[in-house]
Amino acid sequence: MKTLHVNGAAMPAIGLGTWTLQGKECSRLVDAALGLGYRHVDTATIYENEADVGEGIRGSGVPRGEIFLTTKVWWTDLAAADLVRSAEKSLRLLGVDYVDLLLVHWPNPQVPLAETMDALGSVRERGLTRHIGVSNFPTPLLAEAVRLSEAPLVANQVEHHPYLDQRKVHAACRKYGMAMVSYCPLHRGGGALQEPAVTAAAARHGKTPAQIVLRWHVQQEDVAVIPRTSRKERLTENAAIFDFSLEADEMEAIGGLRSANQRICDYSFSPEWDAS
Ligand SMILES: NC(=O)c1ccc[n+]([C@@H]2O[C@H](COP(=O)([O-])OP(=O)(O)OC[C@H]3O[C@@H](n4cnc5c(N)ncnc54)[C@H](OP(=O)(O)O)[C@@H]3O)[C@@H](O)[C@H]2O)c1
C-alpha cells in the first residue's frame, strides 16, 4: 500500500473510516481491516466508537507502532481546556498512549483559532498525539491555521468525491506540504459510482466502480482516502487499488463530474466553503 510523506508524518494512503460503526461490529471490522493489511484507522469523539476501535486494534495483534490512528476533537470543544480534556478522554477510550493524528473536526468561529491551535500544539508537545491537523477548513481558514500553528499541520480532512470540486483546497494543502484526506470518498455509495466515466473505466480495468473512484483519489498527489464499509468483503475490495493506474483521460473524465457540485456534509455550523 502507498504511504504519503507529509510534513514529517508517514500516512498510509488508505484508511478505514468508522463513522456509524459501533460496538462489536466496529471492533470486528477494525480487527479484520488490520488483518487484511490496513494500517490507518479514522475515528472521532463524535462517532462514540473510540473504545470499540481500540478493542479492534488490540484484537488484531498488529503492533501499535505500525498503525496510523486518527481521532478528532468536536467543534464545541475547541476552547483550550476543553480540547485538552477531549484529547485525554480519547486516549483513555482508545486505550492507547498516543494517537498519530489529532484533528480539529470543524472550525468554530466562537473560539479564537489562535487558542485552539495553541492547545492542539500543547497536546502534541505532551506526546498525546504525534501530529496535528484540521478538518473541514476552507482555504482562508486553513491559511490562518497554518500561520497560527507552531508545529506543521499534516492534513486537512475534507469531503471529496467526483461530484465535488476540491481543487482549491487540494492546491492549498500541497502548498503547505499537507495531505488532503478525502472523506465520503465513495459519495456514500451514491450516484457517482454509477457514472459512465466510472463504469467505463471499471470495465476497462476489470475493477469495481468503487475501486475506480478510490484509485482516482489516491492517484492525485498527496491525497489519502478513508472509505467506510460495514462489510468484510468490501474491506478487501476497497484496498485493492494499488495494482493498476488510471489513464490521464480517465482521471480527467472522472474529475469532470465535479460540475454536479454536490456536498453531502453541510450543516448550520459549516464554515463558508470555497467557491468552485
Ligand atoms: N471529518 C468529517 O467531518 C467527516 C465527515 C464524514 C465522514 N468522515 C470520515 O470519512 C469516512 C468515510 O466517509 P463516509 O463513511 O461518510 O462515506 P463513504 O466512505 O464515501 O461511503 C460509505 C458508504 O459506501 C458504501 N460502500 C463502501 N464500500 C463500498 C463498495 N466497495 N461499493 C459500494 N458501496 C460501498 C458503504 O456501505 P456498506 O457499509 O454496506 O459497505 C457505506 O454506505 C467516515 O466513515 C469517517 O471516518 C469524516
Residue 226 counted as domain residue: yes
User: Across residues 65-93, what is the average pLDDT?
Assistant: 98
pTM above 0.85, yes or no: yes
Residue 241 counted as domain residue: no
Per-residue pLDDT at 29 exceeds 90: yes
Residue 274 counted as domain residue: no
φ, ψ dihedrals at 243, nearest 5°: -115, 15
Residue 173 counted as domain residue: yes
Output the pLDDT for position 118.
Answer: 98
Residue-wise pLDDT for 98-155, tens only, equals 999 999 999 999 999 999 999 999 999 999 999 999 999 999 999 999 999 999 999 9
Q: Which domain holds residue 133?
A: 3-189+217-230
Quick one: which atom of ligand 1 is closest to the CA of 237? 31
Nearest one of 237, 223, 208 to 13, comparing CA atoms: 223
Nearest one of 141, 94, 149 to 125, comparing CA atoms: 149
Residue-wise pLDDT for 230-248, tens only, equals 999 999 999 999 999 999 9
Q: Which set of grid coordinates corresponds to residue 256?
A: 469532470
Find the residues whose C-beta lies inside 6 A of ligand 1. Answer: 17-19, 42, 105, 135-136, 157, 183-189, 210, 226-231, 234, 237-238, 265
What percent of the chain stands above pLDDT 70? 100
CA-nearest residue for atom 16, ligand 1, is: 184
Residue 208 counted as domain residue: no
Output the pLDDT for position 191.
Answer: 96
CA distance 108 to 125: 23
Residue 10 counted as domain residue: yes
User: Across residues 182-200, what is the average pLDDT?
Assistant: 98
**What's the mean per-residue pLDDT of the chain?**
98
Quick one: which atom of ligand 1 is closest to the CA of 234? 31
Nearest one of 186, 113, 188 to 153, comparing CA atoms: 113
Residue 179 counted as domain residue: yes
Residue 251 counted as domain residue: no
Output the pLDDT for position 1.
Answer: 84
Distance 81 CA to ligand 1 centre (A): 32
Q: What CATH number is given to the structural domain containing 37?
A: 3.20.20.100
Output the pLDDT for position 120.
Answer: 98
Residues serving a catalytic function are: 47
The preferred substitution site among 28, 161, 228 for testing ligand 1, maximizing ligand atoms within 8 Å of CB, is: 228
Number of domains forming the structure of the chain: 1
CA-nearest residue for atom 5, ligand 1, is: 183
